[in-house]
Amino acid sequence: MFLMLMMHKLSERLARVKFTNRSMSCWGTNEKAIISILGHRNAAQRKQIRLAYSELFQEDLVKRLESELNGDFEKAVYRWVLDPEDRDAVLANVAIRKSGDYHVIVEIACVLSSEELLAVRRAYHARYKHSLEEDLAAHTTGDIRKLLVGLVTAFRYEGDEINTRLTNSEADILHDAIKDKAFNHEDVIRILTTRSKAQLMATFNRYRDDHGSSITKDLLDEPADEFKTVLRTAIRCLNDHKKYYEKILRNAIKKGWDR
């Protein structure tokens, strides 16, 4: 019974792979067919399709897609087919080379788990022969460099334990720094780049409870500059990345464009 099930799954996979190949042959690329095959598969299934395609046609599916597609659709499909850590490595490299485009770096560093972030750094090194932090440091300066390099090299504790004493003291440290407009204070960077997400969430909640407004609102009330924008994005992603992405998607749909 197990053998029959495995043979059935293998035949289904090969059928999808052959259909993918036909979708890119002869009469141009059938974008709807590619979406129907790849758009409804999870990362593990996409990886299996890519491996089967290589075995069946002695060709890398990613390279074939690059040659057949173009524009935004090519970028979307190409990145979708990559393994998640490899895709994030590509996105990080593109963001680094686009001057001032730091939100992708912050999202990768602050949303992923410590193990996932480490996997991205390994994938980046394998693909580009440089470390992520090395390239990031080469394309940034000053306080932004300190914050971003600190975020991408962080290996945070993933447990739920909270140190209440730290929560209280560090909420005050953050509040005093914002009140004094010392946004780049070394303690601010230290707290955001070393504390666990659970600890930071507790600190941000204590900040709001003790001082009557959220830390992100207090930062928003200050005149905008590049460092404060990066700082606020990091705090939003560390505190509640689902809410952060919900707002990004809502604004993108409302405005009719994506970031």
pLDDT score for 9:
46
For residue 98, tell me if it sits in a domain. Answer: yes
Tell me: do 88 and 77 sit in the same domain.
no
Residue 255: pLDDT band (50, 70, 90) is confident
Whole-model pTM over 0.85:
no
- Residue 59 belongs to domain spanning: 2-81
pLDDT score for 80:
84
- State yes or no: 28 annotated in a binding site: yes
Sign of CA dihedral 123, 129, 132, 136: negative
Mean pLDDT, residues 213-239 taken together:
93
Tell me: do 170 and 251 sit in the same domain.
yes
Boundary-marking domain end, from 123, 152, 181: 152
Boundary-marking domain end, from 152, 176, 204: 152
For residue 157, tell me if it sits in a domain. Answer: no
Tell me: do 63 and 40 sit in the same domain.
yes
CATH number at residue 38: 1.10.220.10
Residue 21: pLDDT band (50, 70, 90) is low
Number of structural domains the chain divides into: 3
- State yes or no: 68 annotated in a binding site: yes
pLDDT score for 243:
95
Q: What percent of the chain has pLDDT over 70?
A: 86
More confident residue, 39 or 144: 144
pLDDT score for 231:
97
For residue 107, tell me if it sits in a domain. Answer: yes
Residue 16: pLDDT band (50, 70, 90) is low
For residue 158, tell me if it sits in a domain. Answer: no
pLDDT score for 256:
65
Average confidence score pLDDT of the chain: 87
| pLDDT tens sequence across 155-178 | 999 999 999 999 999 999 999 999
- State yes or no: 212 annotated in a binding site: no
For residue 92, tell me if it sits in a domain. Answer: yes
Mean pLDDT, residues 37-58 taken together:
85
Q: Is pLDDT above 80 for 233?
A: yes
For residue 53, tell me if it sits in a domain. Answer: yes
| pLDDT tens sequence across 55-69 | 888 888 888 887 888
Both tokens of 117, joined, read 């972030």
- State yes or no: 255 annotated in a binding site: yes
